[in-house]
Amino acid sequence: MQVTFKIWRQNGPKDKGKFESYPVDDLTDDMSFLEALDHLNERLVVAGKQVIAFEYDCREGICGQCGIFINGRAHGPHDHMTTCQLHMRSFKDGDTIVVEPWRAASFPIIKDLVVDRSAFDRIIEKGAYISSQTGTAPEANAILIPKSVADKAMDAAACIGCGACVATCKNSSAALFTAAKINHLNRLPQGKAEQHTRVKEMTWQMNLEGFGSCTFTGACEVECPEGISISNIAELNARLLKSKISGS
């Protein structure tokens, strides 16, 4: 299989950056997309050129490190999929594949396809946890949680923080990510004690980081590898309103 990768190369945060084309001809269609990039990088090493910087860790769709904008879609042409789960069989022989880093003011480019997503970490630091004593694990049935509630909390907890929502959103809104983190905890009894400060502080940090406002285009829920529903953002709006009204 032969394709031409047209890849964004940028030497550092301050570099202007530009696209460069790399024809690669000995790929197989059962290679993953990241393996195809590895393959290209090996060629570049042999040729004494700089390898293309891109991120990954688990390569099994759970860590959220591998965000790349591929042929006009976050994580490539499929809905609900991480880049590491994308295979070359999704492309045709002879295709030109345009490969870009996540674009958002709040995700500055570090190098090539690698962006700085620490804005997400700073949002998490504002309340995506519960304050509790550490020690031996509490008795499992001390807090009873109905299955339906646990399931709903898990739906939100599935967020792997890959940043596809911000990348695909025309407003670079981080509302789906932040809503998932907040709803995950606020839906559970353990999260209730700090629910109001959590929602206020985390959304305020989202504002400070320079993300945009959600206008419900719905692109985020399509690109989210975990299929987290955009109704989470509406729920976040309700929670924020409630915490404003309750004044706590």
Partner 1 sequence: MTTNPLFFRKTAIALTGLFLCLFLIVHLSANCILLLPKELAIPAYNSYSTLLRESPLIKIVAYLLYAAILLHVFYALLVTLRNRKAKPVRYAVNHAGENSSWASRNMGVLGTLILIFIVIHLANFWARIKLGLGEAVPSDPNGNLDVYSVTYELFQNAWFVAFYALMAIPLAWHLHHGLKSGFKTLGFYHQGGLRIIARISLIYAWIMGLGFGIIPIVVFFK
CA-closest candidate to residue 208, choices 174, 181, 247: 174
Residue 64 · residue 226 · CB < 8 Å: no
- Please, what sign has the CA dihedral across residues 174, 179, 184, 190? positive
Residue closer to partner 1 by CB (options 22, 211) is: 211
Q: Within positions 165 to 194, which residues make up the interface with partner 1, using CB under 8 A?
A: 168-173, 175
Residue closer to ligand FES by CB (options 163, 212) is: 163
- Interface with partner 1, residue 214, by CB under 8 A: yes
Q: Which does 4 bind (CB under 5 to 8 A by kind): partner 1, ligand FES, none?
A: none
Residue closer to partner 1 by CB (options 28, 242) is: 242
User: Shortest gap between Cβ of 93 and ligand FES (angstroms)?
Assistant: 25
Residue 52 · residue 113 · CB < 8 Å: yes
Among 24, 53, 63, 98, binds ligand FES (CB under 6 A): 63
Residue closer to partner 1 by CB (options 82, 203) is: 203
Query: Which tokens go with 113?
Result: 């396809």
- Matching residue, tokens 């959103």: 169
- Interface with ligand FES, residue 65, by CB under 6 A: yes
Binding interface with partner 1 (CB under 8 A): 8, 19, 69, 71-73, 79, 98, 100, 103-106, 168-173, 175, 200-201, 203-204, 206-207, 210-219, 222-223, 229-235, 237-241
